[in-house]
Amino acid sequence: MPHEDLTHEAVHRRTGAVPRQASARDTTRTQAPGAEEAAGGRPPTTAGQPPAAGGRTGPGIVKPLPPELFVVHDTNAEMRWEAMRDVGFHVPNERFFVRNHTSTPIIDATAWRLRLHGTGLRNPRSFDYGELLALPAVTRDVAIECAGNGRSFFTTQQHQEVSGTPWRLGGIGVARWRGVPLATVLDLAGLTPDAVDVMARGLDPGYVSGGVDLGPVRRPIPVAKALQDVILAYEMNGRPLPPDHGHPVRLVVPSWIGLASIKWVGDIEVSASPLFSPWNTELYRMFGAAHPPQGGAPLTVRGVRSAFELPWNATLAAGRAHVLHGRSWSGHGRITAVEVSVDGGVTWRRAQLRGPHVVPAWARWHVTWSPQETGPRTLLARAVDETGATQPQRTPHNEFGYLFDAVVHHPVTVVNP
């Protein structure tokens, strides 16, 4: 990409007006320098199954996806919220949602290298797995949530057309991540004062969209965020990262959209000029009538959301007390209050918050409900966080259906016991 283009785009990006098509075209040819090297000289194999007789392929996910725990959407697997009932604060690795642009690569940690390079480093260098594990580690409870979580409600609640995976609310999970602060490895690689962007690249197969290979999943984050709280994680809930969640090493970017938490990291580019990829120009930005004509700024912090730990269309017996459990979360700050309505939003009552609420994770709550009459009901939950951010009745439309934060209408049926 010629330098003038970069400068030009930098100006646009800072004003939230990255030209959509031009930038996508400019970046599609970008190769991941050293991606093969980073994989230890061998291209990783992937979990994508060979096409079956009917030409159908598997989702490219390694772990079992039992239908009582997951809803599979193409290459992705959504967690069923009822699977969190009677489960603790963390989502077990076997139940954690999977969002893959392509398929899970199988990477040999002993041959793996993490290569740091770019104009923002004085001392570009590599780390192998053992070197990374030997560095001082941190452990944090952090949610990873897809920017598209809740997307299906644009259609079902707001009767609007959007494109992308039709998640309900199961595109989120909280795990206890252990790894090395990204700041530590950037420091060891001689981060320069004029570095502005840090872009990790995945070792999964390139993402093909509309017949164009967009290359490996990658998306820059500003140096300030990279130094603040980002982790190069190698453990998830006390176990080595499972293949589907980024083995051997992934980024964990607290409070930001899940895309920023790049899995299967092979190299990290640190640049003294702004970096671009299709994932911060063409994708993961707001487009549509409610947004700037050139598109909104690349998405970062997630909004407020709430979910019941109940099946969709759950049945509940009349004349009994039911404890309705749920969780709420926000990328902006601590959840301070949750209200629940069992009559479609006519009346609301306070839910009881319980247990810890670590800011980049979620808060658990419950209310008791004794329905008397049988028939269909709509349950609603809405949360407020410490910044005053709450859940609106409607989310302004955007073409890709990102960041649906409106109150979700959860259907249940009250039946005779």
Interacting residues toward ligand MTE by CB under 6 A: 96-101, 144, 146, 202, 204, 217, 245, 258-259, 261-264
Pick the closer one to Mo ion by CB: 258 or 266: 258
Q: How many beta carbons lie within 10 A of that of residue 354, not counting itself?
A: 11
Query: Min. distance of Cβ 299 from ligand MTE in angstroms?
Result: 11
Pick the closer one to ligand MTE by CB: 202 or 295: 202
* Dist. CA 319–CA 164, nearest whole Å: 41
Pick the closer one to ligand MTE by CB: 24 or 79: 79
Query: Residue 99, interface with Mo ion (CB under 5 A)?
Result: yes
Pick the closer one to ligand MTE by CB: 277 or 395: 277
Query: Min. distance of Cβ 413 from ligand MTE in angstroms?
Result: 31
Helices (H), 147-285: 152-156, 182-188, 223-228, 278-281
126 contact partners, CB below 8 Å, separation of at least 6: 38, 113, 114, 115, 116
* Dist. CA 238–CA 153, nearest whole Å: 34
Query: Min. distance of Cβ 354 from ligand MTE in angstroms?
Result: 25
Pick the closer one to Mo ion by CB: 9 or 78: 78
* Dist. CA 97–CA 70, nearest whole Å: 8
Candidate residues 173, 215, 248, 258; the one interacting with Mo ion per rule CB under 5 A: 258
Question: Choosing among ligand MTE, Mo ion, none, which partner's interface includes residue 151 (Cβ < 5 to 8 Å by kind)?
Answer: none
* Dist. CA 249–CA 236, nearest whole Å: 10
Exposed (0-12), middle (13-18) or buried (19+): which is 245, by Cβ within 10 Å?
buried
Question: Choosing among ligand MTE, Mo ion, none, which partner's interface includes residue 383 (Cβ < 5 to 8 Å by kind)?
Answer: none
Question: Choosing among ligand MTE, Mo ion, none, which partner's interface includes residue 399 (Cβ < 5 to 8 Å by kind)?
Answer: none
Nearest by Cα to 257 from 403, 96, 75, 153:
403
Pick the closer one to Mo ion by CB: 32 or 259: 259
User: Cα Rg for the chain, rounded, in angstroms?
Assistant: 22
Question: Choosing among ligand MTE, Mo ion, none, which partner's interface includes residue 263 (Cβ < 5 to 8 Å by kind)?
Answer: ligand MTE
* Binding interface with Mo ion (CB under 5 A): 99, 146, 258-259
